[in-house]
Structure 1
């Protein structure tokens, strides 16, 4: 199971039963609650790969997510980098597996990054 992102981190606490008319409400406050973490909750005898978008303590925070969600691999993205990640065709990620192996990849195309992730997945499957 490879999950690249959460469906949503938050959801509205309540939903209006009917359309809210502008004339009836000069302003609104939207209260949000956390959504369930699907990747953390899914169980089974299969490989789990997750992603972590981080702005600080990349490896430390990614390792914590790997352990908390009981993942086999986590792909950590440094979202502060301007030449990789969101909005560009390249990415520079760090792959961390459950055995503690940490590989910081060079700047690659996203297709090359996907290949590296799949190579790691295949390697773990072969050693199961």
Structure 2
């Protein structure tokens, strides 16, 4: 296949989301955003038009990339929706919080004397929502960060969310995965493809992913 032209549009999500209990407390996770930012940089290096929808991270914007900062899962979906409709490739790298507090308190809540019980409700499934709208010309790539049965869970997600590709990685250790500078991934395609790569710096992993999903 021919390489994607410079007018190729790529939409990427990165980092965590924060689901606030009150103005200062929130539910989140340990995603650093490094993998998503590496993919954005690698895509921009190919001359593509890149939109990066990013949760709160401590990373500089890659050169040539339009960064759209967001906080919550709802914010992330709202930023992605209009851009998804015109993208050629969507890569959902962000570690979106699975739950949010049912009630948001406008003022900081005081520490209770006894145990605190929180009622949580699911956040929007951004990847599933957007993949359901995929046009025939579009490619959708998901990520599956797991601590066990990595390939089995990734294959289930690939099928259930009707993705073209999924990138699976084991985040149970500290040398690769979340917050690390390196990653080891398993790339699975809806076409039956299966390739492993790493451990390697995340920019090299990003290049591996892009050259396989958009040959």
The TM-score bracket by the shorter chain reads: 0.7 to 0.9
Question: How many matched pairs?
Answer: 121
- CA offsets per residue over residues 18-76 of structure 1, 9 Å max, x none? 44344xx4243222111121100111211111100111111111010011111111000
Q: Does 1:44 align with 2:131?
A: no
Pairing partner for 2:113 from 2, 11, 26: 26
Query: SS at 1:105's partner residue?
Result: strand
Contact 1:4 1:51 in 2 (8 A): yes
**Bigger relative CO (Cα 8 Å, ≥ 6 apart):** 2
Q: How does 1:58-69 map onto structure 2 within 5 Å? A: 58-69=150-161
Which protein shows a greater Rg?
A: 1
Look up the match of 1:55: 147
How does the TM-score come out when normalised to structure 1? 0.85
Q: Any runs of at least 4 consecutive aligned residues in structure 1 with deviations exceeding 3 A, and if so which?
A: none
How does the TM-score come out when normalised to structure 2? 0.52
Query: SS at 2:154's partner residue?
Result: helix
